[in-house]
Homo-oligomer: A and B are copies of this chain.
Amino acid sequence: MIKPRTPPGVMELLPPDQIAFQRMLDTIRRNFERFGFLPVETPVMELSEVLLTKSGGETERQVYFVQSTGALEKAAQSGGEGTPEMALRFDLTVPLARYVAEHEHDLAFPFRRYQMQRVYRGERAQRGRFREFYQCDIDVIGKDALSVRFDAELPAVIFAVFSELNIGAFTIQLNNRKLMRGFFEQQGVAEPELQALVLREVDKLDKRGADYVRETLVGEGFGLSAEAVANILAFVEVRSTSHDDALARLDALGDGNDALRDGVSELREVLELIRALGVPEANYALNFSIARGLDYYTGTVYETTLNDYPGIGSICSGGRYDDLASHYSKSRLPGVGISIGLTRLFWQLREAGIIDTAQSTVQVLVTQMDAAHLPHCLAIASELRHGGLNTEVVMESSKLARQFKYADRAGIRFVVVLGEDELAKGTVTVKDLRREDQFEVARGELARALRVELEQSRAMR
Chain A interface main SS type: mixed
Question: CA of A67 to CA of B72 in the docked complex: distance in angstroms?
Answer: 11
Question: CA of A68 to CA of B36 in the docked complex: distance in angstroms?
Answer: 37
Residues of B with C-beta under 8 A to A67: 64-65, 67, 84
When the two chains form the complex, which single residue of B70, B150, B153, B374 contacts A273, counting CB atoms closer than 8 Å?
A: B374
- B62-A68 in contact (CB<8A): yes
Question: CA of A200 to CA of B4 in the docked complex: distance in angstroms?
Answer: 35
Residue A233 at the chain B interface, CB threshold 8 Å = no
Selected A-B contacts with CB under 8 Å, 11 pairs: A4-B101, A6-B43, A15-B38, A33-B362, A34-B385, A36-B365, A38-B361, A44-B88, A45-B64, A108-B409, A273-B378
When the two chains form the complex, which single residue of B65, B66, B150 contacts A395, counting CB atoms closer than 8 Å?
A: B150
Residues of B with C-beta under 8 A to A385: 34-35, 160
The stretch among A240-248, A296-304, A324-332, A415-423 that forms the contact with chain B is A324-332
- B153-A325 in contact (CB<8A): no
Give the distance to chain B from A65, nearest Cβ to Cβ, in Å: 5
Q: A19-B38, A147-B395, A149-B396 are in contact. List 4 more A-B contacts (CB 8 A).
A: A1-B330, A43-B132, A68-B122, A149-B374
A residues lining the B interface (CB < 8 Å) = 1-7, 10, 12-15, 18-19, 22, 33-36, 38-47, 49-50, 53, 60-70, 72, 75-76, 79-81, 84-86, 88, 97-99, 101-103, 106-108, 110, 112-113, 118, 120, 122, 132, 147, 149-150, 152-153, 156, 160, 272-273, 276-278, 325, 327-330, 360-362, 365, 374-376, 378-379, 381-382, 385, 389-393, 395-396, 406, 409-410
Question: CA of A396 to CA of B102 in the docked complex: distance in angstroms?
Answer: 25
Question: CA of A42 to CA of B85 in the docked complex: distance in angstroms?
Answer: 25
**How many copies of this chain?**
2
Give the distance to chain B from A391, nearest Cβ to Cβ, in Å: 6
Residues A4 and B325 in contact in the complex (CB < 8 Å), given A38-B360, A39-B22: yes
Instruction: Select from chain B the residue with minimum beta-carbon distance to A64.
Output: B66
Instruction: Select from chain B the residue with minimum beta-carbon distance to A31.
Output: B385
Question: CA of A304 to CA of B40 in the docked complex: distance in angstroms?
Answer: 29
Give the distance to chain B from A124, nearest Cβ to Cβ, in Å: 10
- B7-A19 in contact (CB<8A): no
Question: CA of A409 to CA of B106 in the docked complex: distance in angstroms?
Answer: 12
- A44-B132 in contact (CB<8A): yes
Give the distance to chain B from A54, nearest Cβ to Cβ, in Å: 11
- B2-A36 in contact (CB<8A): no
Give the distance to chain B from A323, nearest Cβ to Cβ, in Å: 13
- B86-A7 in contact (CB<8A): yes
Residues of B with C-beta under 8 A to A382: 156, 277-278
Residues of B with C-beta under 8 A to A34: 385, 389-391
Residues A391 and B2 in contact in the complex (CB < 8 Å), given A44-B118, A103-B14, A406-B108: no
Give the distance to chain B from A52, nearest Cβ to Cβ, in Å: 10
Residues of B with C-beta under 8 A to A378: 152, 273, 276-277
Question: CA of A112 to CA of B396 in the docked complex: distance in angstroms?
Answer: 14
